[in-house]
Structure 1
Amino acid sequence: MSTVFGVVKVIAIVIVLLIVLSFVVDAALRLRMDTDVSVSTERGSADNGTLIVYLPGILAGGRASSVGFIDIWRRNSDLVLLVEYGDERFDGEFCAKVVADAIQRQNAVTPFRRIVFIGSSMGGLLAYDVIRQLDVNTGSLEDTVSIELIALDAPTSRTDFQPPNHLVAPVLRVLPFGPIWNRLNLIEKMFVPPKEENIEVGVDRAELARRVDEGKNYRISFWRDELVYIMTHGAPKYNALEGRVDRLVYVRSTRDNDTVRPEAYNAWAATTSVATRMEVDSTHVGFAERPKTWRQAFEKLLG
């Protein structure tokens, strides 16, 4: 009996050592992984001097997640910028610089009178960083340009996560997921598809399935970086956007019972006196499962 116990103990020790070794190797390999960011354009038809910038959230692509609403955005703007993150690593500071530079280049070609940021979940916090980066880029925008921020279910720090996410995030911070752990397809195993009661009648099930598959196929190194970005960012400073944005709308999904706390709005409200709150009947940025709800919301927000 003692011999069997000894063998089991040795096996357990070996497994633990292999796990530790995998993280050590991944920590080194992570340094060689890409933090790609790209910005694509869609021409609008409004001829109203408006630029819309869409920044998606965690485990979402700019073009794929906007497919059900891009017609509304194009109808209400001259140009739409869709931000795409890479799939290996995520660097919020680098991403903010890339997007700010893209805005500056477009504005140099065709000066805009109004820029509307649509930040989905994590994208809301990233939009905040882009606005701040535009201030750093001396002369990037004229003072006459009106800036608006529409933050959709956007957290600002770890405290905005609902349980148990607020406990999981700190653990991820110390786990340097890289190429080795990416091969295990952990996101696919952890991914929770939309509940049937939260899916609108008449939803395109094929499109919903594509969106679910898209979320499942992201790498855990990428997901880890996005969560750590939010967790370590810190809430925006008091009055940080006062006089900088002419409008800030925080959109709260009333069915979001597992991702972002309703109190997340408080941090946004502290950034400017023009902040307002709007509610939609949706799960956390449930574009795929509740497209009609979000189309109505965007018509109201941009109309």
Structure 2
Amino acid sequence: MPTGAQTVQRFADVIDGAAPDPALPSSLVLAGAGKMGASLLDGWLKSGLDPVNVTILDPHPSEHIERLAAERGIALNTAIEAIRPPEVLVLAIKPQSLAEAAPSLARLVAPHTLVLSILAGKTLAGLAGHFPEAGAIVRAMPNLPASIGRGITGVVASQKTDDAQRSTATALLAGSGAVEWLDDEALIDALTGVSGSGPAYVFHLVEALAAAGVAAGLPADLAERLARGTVTGSGALLEASPLSATALREAVTSKGGTTAAALDELSGDNGIGPAVTRAVAAAKRRAQELAD
């Protein structure tokens, strides 16, 4: 893998219907099956992970998880004492719950176990402290579009993580979208502020755009449809076009036109650029506060 703090390696999405990735693990325990944990699980199953190789631990499983476990033969809330250390332990609980849950979960970790964490702010060193038997630890930060297979996940690994374990982590995470490997853990909190929290910024933009439409005189339901359609359509264009976001913005903006007038209001010290910079910095700071 290339080196350098800014270097990333992109892996293609796993295509639904393709043969199972041989890097998928032979045994996996998912600790925490909330929105993100459940989204990852759905991606794994679509990628070909055998459900009989999966155990879910969640004190309050959703109806979706209970139904999925019953239909697919997934073990749900087996006593920890009865579970053999798996090839992969995925931590998808709330970050604030780690200290309480770790002593029990640590029983599931053997030297061969890969600990894959999606807990915001929890560092590799901190995770190693909770799971001293673990030789390999991978820290990942997915985002909400993983729930429809369109997520993007930043990943960093401990020094003891070997190539096969990196491939396993990639195979698991690629089931929910693109994967970006980082070789500097210092970048992951900033990544959290951009892509981890980023979908909320986009949804908030839709809210603000719809509210602005109402303020300008549009009916609320029409303003909502216009705002949603504008953002989703623009995202699709951004994905399909070879042009940069800057070039696309310039293509929409005629000198002296309506868009230029609007962008004048979004520019400057109080504009959207500085506001987003502050937002990402705040998310990064909070991620650092959640660290062990």
TM-score for the superposition, normalised by structure 1: 0.29
Higher share in helix = 2
TM-score w.r.t. length of structure 2? 0.30
